[in-house]
Structure 1
């Protein structure tokens, strides 16, 4: 009766309280749940993107570090393959006859610095002479080419002389070659010239304390004719340097791969030390290991104490005897106490009787 009266008197309040409000609450709960899940999804996606970006950045840094380390090692370990210097020959002219009156010679400055050649690296040192196929050079025959290696203090460190001559060709071969190459010779595309390469030092190694900075070149012939002279210093590679120079792609792949391996190993160990030592999983593992070690230590102590007891008390009879001795001792102690108390009371009574008699 009361419920019907309330419905009749407040229909809108009852409808709002029993129908509208629950529906609104349900819709609000559904909306909040969907918004929370959406927010969590957005946060998860953003976290994944941030982690991927960090991973890509770390991978790029590691790769560039490996490449930079190999390039630095390449240019530090591998010297410059060749050095070329022009040789400006000088001689003393003659007044009476045409031609030089002294041997052509020259001073070649390799470097103004302390050192040019790498210590411990063998070098081939050769002198190239461009000579025309003139009649005078053909009649010249053999001649000597000498070189002196000097340090910054103008002290001679090495000296060598080598003989050489023009490459021989017969008159018929020269005539045929001239006829065939005549159009190129006429228009200046080719010259009747020979380049003579004289290897003065086949395996020269520089001294670390007294490095070579100057070279003195001399051609021991007064009748020689030449266009130009050049000095060539070429590194003679062997071992790892030979592989790095002649197979650069293979050596670069292996070197960068090795650098990546070591950098990745160091990075993983650093990450393990920084992350896993502070994680909950590691703490739990440590706690479990500690509990296991304590339990094993406790069991070991129990076993040791049990073995000691068995050695001290081998029979049950001896244990029973030892258990009875304290009881007997306690009984004896009680009897002694009673005897002492009775004696004390008797002495007290005697003293009181003496006092009354006086």
Structure 2
């Protein structure tokens, strides 16, 4: 951050004409922040006039002032001093012979206006200065004064605040493109990995719940006492009655049944079993029809 300072002089004091030291005040705005280190320096552009050369060492007085407070009437009150520094400065000395040779060598540049007989001084005023937390501790303006025994002539004055970053701030400020691609890739990778992990956990959780519901439904179906409706047709009931009568006759007469009769009884028992297992299907009618045919065939055989 750079701020230009406009210098002025106190021309009158107690009604008398006198030359004071040049000074100037400029506002800093809201560019400075607390808990951040700064290097503060002054860039001073001076012409190489006899007065400036004769001044020798001169002093630069820099004061950092707090923001003004507002009173009940809305007018600004006085400010308080936050930091103060005084540093010496001097123009570079050159002998008359070297000064003449330097001027002759740069004469073409002076004639076309590309250079001027001036020198720029860079004077450090604060190193690693840090402001405490709170808006009252951050400077809102500065005051610069050039103190010399001679009347100084000045082309331009600038006060520079250089923020000293460290750690991640320094990396992002010095290597902007590399930091952009690196941190963007890291953010994308972390987002994808996190989304994948969350998706896997949710899928496993919901999958286990669905599997548990299916298992509970199957257990309820197996353990349920749902009555099964049994249907009997008239033919199967009649065959069962005939088989029961035949068994009673055999038991009362104690006559061993013939082979055909034994086969008929066994077929009737098989019909009963098949009618229970295959009831409602095509096998039911088929078994009954076969039993009737065997009975009619046995009745047609001559008695021995």
Q: What TM-score, normalized by structure 1, do the two folds share?
A: 0.51
Aligned mate of 2:160, from 223, 226, 232: 232
Question: Which consecutive residues of structure 1, in runs of 5 or more, have no partner in the other structure?
Answer: 1-82, 289-358
Aligned mate of 1:156, from 81, 91, 94: 81
RMSD: 2.5
Structure 2 residue 37 is the aligned partner of structure 1 residue 92: no
Aligned to 1:346: none
C-alpha change, 1:141 and 1:93, in structure 2 (3 Å) is same
What is the SS of the residue equivalent to 2:185?
helix
Aligned mate of 2:142, from 215, 221, 224: 215
C-alpha contact (below 8 Å) 1:116/1:212 kept by paired residues: no
In structure 2, how many angstroms separate the alpha carbons of the residues matched to 1:243 and 1:100?
53
In structure 1, how many angstroms separate the alpha carbons of the residues matched to 2:64 and 2:12?
29
User: Cα offset for 1:198?
Assistant: 1.4
Aligned to 1:192: 117
C-alpha change, 1:166 and 1:285, in structure 2 (3 Å) is farther
In structure 2, how many angstroms separate the alpha carbons of the residues matched to 1:287 and 1:244?
55
In structure 2, how many angstroms separate the alpha carbons of the residues matched to 1:255 and 1:176?
56
C-alpha change, 1:137 and 1:100, in structure 2 (3 Å) is farther
Taking the TM superposition and a 5 Å limit, the aligned residue runs for 1:1-358 are 83-93=1-11, 101-111=19-29, 115-153=30-68, 154-209=79-134, 210=136, 211-221=138-148, 222-279=150-207, 283-284=210-211
Q: Deviations over 1:163-199 (max 9, x none)?
A: 0111222223222221111111011111011111111
User: Cα offset for 1:144?
Assistant: 0.5
User: Cα offset for 1:273?
Assistant: 4.2
Q: Deviations over 1:209-241 (max 9, x none)?
A: 222111111111251111111111111122222
Question: Which consecutive residues of structure 2, in runs of 5 or more, have no partner in the other structure?
Answer: 69-78, 216-304
Considering fraction of residues, name the structure with more helix.
Answer: 1
